[in-house]
Amino acid sequence: MKTSVITFSRNDGYKEKERFAIHLKTLLETFDEVNYVDWNSPTHSFLYEVMDLIPKTGRLKHFVIPPSVHQMYSEQIPDFPKCFVPIAFNLALRRTDADWVVATTTDNIPPTKEELLNLINSGDNNTFYTISRREIDYNETLRNSNNLDEYRKFLSQTTEPRFFHAKVTPNDNYSLINCCGDFQLAPREIWWKIRGFEENMFYNCFVDTNVQKKAALSGCKLQAVFDIPMYHMSHDNILPQAHTTKLHEAADKKPPRYNDALDWVEFFQETRNNNNWGLGDVEIEFEVV
């Protein structure tokens, strides 16, 4: 059984390279394959900023979406975001042969390999899982960056599950936890059955909840997981308020635009992705690190 994880970012000065390196190093310890999608970095991929800080395993697939491709979308879509989450995830989903696939974000430290495999082996192939994150201090994590194995053992013994449920619409039965997009796990067959993330969700918010509704509409069970630790590194030392909003304000010099929750969570009933979701009809090059 092969496990894979997909993560994405861009080299715009917002995320510290040390944070990114911790994220990648722990992903490489947990997963058989790591897919990193760099979207629209102005000069060069963020991966090249941390290349000397991560192990060279031959298991990291590096995709680059350059500014020229991003510009084509921007010319057609008003207020197109600097980093487009659905296609960033989907293009890697289309190109992995792993049995189980996780979509996650670059602020996180995953469960250990043993913890992940225990969940998969005790679960079933018709369930879409989301793991609730536990908050940890980034500065403390940084101080332990040279001893991450022991630090993760310490965290597993000292952190508590985070039971933070959320509803974004009155009939939202899909946001089983707050920030459900931080760690979404399913068999590859489910991701393909639902055609990944909705590629017409151009803006902020609800992309993660929508994909869980897609799984439910396709006859899959949804399950939130609280007893397996997955950690979110804090942003207290960077931005004191909601970092996604502040990121877009800093990048665009104007308030962010949001997806319509009623449209995508309340009223949504079927995918709007076609058979070429994830740029399936485009040859995408990648390098292996």
Q: Which two tokens stand for residue 115?
A: 């913890």
Mean predicted confidence (pLDDT) in 154-173? 92
Q: What does 237-257 look like in DSSP terms, one character per residue?
A: TT-SS-HHHHHHHHHHSS---
Over residues 13-39, mean pLDDT: 96
What is the model's pTM? Answer: 0.93
Question: Which of helix, strand or coil describes residue 269?
Answer: coil
Nearest-angstrom CA–CA distance, 273 and 195: 7
Residue-level length of the chain: 289
Give residue 42's region: left, alpha or beta (phi > 0; psi -120 to 50): alpha
| 245 token code pair | 């909003």
Say which DSSP state 223 is in: E
- Terminal-residue alpha carbon distance, the chain: 22
Q: Are 280 and 196 in contact (CB under 8 A)?
A: no
* Residue at token pair 């304000």: 249
Question: What pLDDT, on a 0 to 100 scale, did the predictor assign at position 243?
Answer: 44
Q: What angle do CA 201, 123, 221 make, to 5 degrees?
A: 45
pLDDT above 60: residue 70: yes
Is the confidence at residue 122, as pLDDT, over 70?
Answer: yes
How far apart CA 13 and CA 21 sit, in angstroms, is 14
Q: What is the enclosing helix (H) or strand (E) of 178? A: none
Could you tell me the pLDDT band of residue 165, with boundaries at 50, 70 and 90?
confident
Q: How far is CA 99 from CA 32, 117, 187, in A?
A: 10, 12, 6
From the list 69, 95, 73, the residue with the least C-alpha distance to 202 is 73
Quick check: 105 pLDDT over 90? Answer: yes
CA dihedral 204, 241, 229, 100 (to 10 degrees): 20
Most distant CA pair in the chain, distance? 50
Note the pLDDT of residue 237.
Answer: 55
Summarised one tens digit per residue, pLDDT across range 42-58 is 999 999 999 999 999 99
What average pLDDT does the structure give for the chain? 93
Strand partners, 108: 232
More confident residue, 165 or 124: 124
Q: In the prediction, which pLDDT does 236 show?
A: 72
- pLDDT recorded at residue 7: 98
Token pair recorded at residue 147: 């001893």
Count of CA atoms in the C-beta half-sphere (13 A) of 86:
27
- 241 vs 197: which has the higher pLDDT: 197
- Amino acid (1-letter code) at residue 123: G
103 close to 6: Cβ distance less than 8 angstroms = yes
Domains assigned to the chain: 3-270 (3.90.550.10)
What is the reported pLDDT for 242? 39
pLDDT digits (tens, 9 = 90+) for 227-283: 999 999 998 754 433 344 444 445 556 788 999 999 999 999 999 999 999 999 999
Quick check: 20 pLDDT over 90?
yes
